Amino acid sequence: MEPRLPPNDHTIMTDASQRAGAILTIDLDAIIANWRFLDARVSPGARAAAVVKGDSYGLGAAAIAPALLAAGCNRFFVATLDEGLALRPLLGQADIAVLSGPLPGCEEDFLEAGLLPVLNSRDQVDLWRDLAHNRGRSLPSVLHVDTGMSRLGLRYAEAESLAEDGDTMAAIAPVLVMSHLACADDVAHPMNRQQLVAFRAARALFPGIPGSLSASSGIFLGPEWHADWCRPGAALYGLRPNDQGPNPMTPVVRLDARILQVRDIDAGECVGYGATHRADRRGKLATVGVGYADGLFRTLGNCGWGYLGEHRVPLVGRVSMDLVVFDVTGLPAGLAKSGAMINLIGQGNSLDDVGKAAGTIGYEILTALGNRYHRHYLGGSRS
């Protein structure tokens, strides 16, 4: 006798946004506007690429990169081979450069997918040269020269030696010479000028090959730093590019979290793990279904905030894995209720504001946003 199946009483009638404890809204049109703004800002003859590494800083490269391609961007940078392989079917023949370069045994994957390896060391140069020799043809690449970061890149002496090696240069056929600025977010830092001088010296070793020095912040240092290609990343996603004046970038993300419960609290009662917040009066609390498993940093305990409508509400107690509590005392009747949304990232609490409150930077807040949020894309091809 076949087992009887239980009746199908679990049909889901609601859509994902209604079920979600929080909604992360990502504005593709704002990202496109930011790229166009940056592309227009660079020097005449230079262009802005798009850095979509880290899954477009956590916001979804599969949606964002094709939207930028449709807007006119034709060069992209990722961090890893797997990121490049995932994007190749979505980006047609656009250039995709992989910043980490090829690891031994993986160089064939670059070639088959038509990815540009960024060659960061003489070992990687030799690996790519040997593949070119085996294939009997030149294979394009990007050369990375270190001008002061001391992370990846050829030292000047290594670049000088490579420039004199005609056979290797012909094999690896560089289409770009790049470096990376260490302190560009601080416009007055003397290292910006030092690296510019070092980059010019390195580029002189490779005449006729386009150059790329600046990422988001470097674009705002001025035309001297623009070279032929700039590589904006964080600024595309609305993050502040430097420490000068108001943020010129259009906000891209909004995070709203649903209230699970509203409760009264008496004076003297405590909130959350460790009893780090004690009420000094009678009031009301709203518990929201997000926590550090969603990228809401634990350091925001007792110092973060949100907005319920136009009302700023303080985060009280510790941030736990799945829950956080806001003080909603004194708000208009009916505003704080189960199912209502508290805004955690938005107009009054930008990514950079939240990063500062958490003791970090907006980059880390952005890239930490978890995968439990319901993601809603606006604009681009999604509109």
Catalogue the active-site residues: 53, 273
Q: Helices then strands (H, E): number in the chain?
A: 13, 19
Residue at token pair 């995709």: 96
Cα distance between residue 293 and residue 208, in whole Å:
49
CA distance 13 to 94: 41
Instruction: For residue 118, list its beta bridge partners.
Output: 142
User: Residue 98 in contact with residue 178, Cβ under 8 Å?
Assistant: no
Tokens of 130: 């040997």
In 3D space, the residue among 306, 314, 239, 245 whose CA is nearest the CA of residue 284 turns out to be 314
Beta bridge partners, 327, equal 285
103: exposed, middle or buried (Cβ count in 10 Å: 0-12, 13-18, 19+): middle
- Residue 357 tokens, joined: 């409150």
Residue given tokens 């081979």 in the structure block? 81
Backbone angles phi, psi at 334, to 5 degrees: 85, -10
The two tokens of residue 149 are 């970061």
Q: What is the token pair recorded at 286?
A: 């709203």
Q: Is 318 helix (H, G, I), strand (E, B) or coil?
A: coil
SS3 (DSSP) at 328? coil
Rounded (5°) CA angle 172-177-178: 130
Whole-angstrom distance, CA of residue 308 vs CA of residue 1: 57
The residue among 224, 211, 128 whose CA lies nearest residue 177 is: 211
Residues 6+ apart with CB under 8 A from 224: 196
Residue 22: phi, psi to the nearest 5?
A: -155, 150
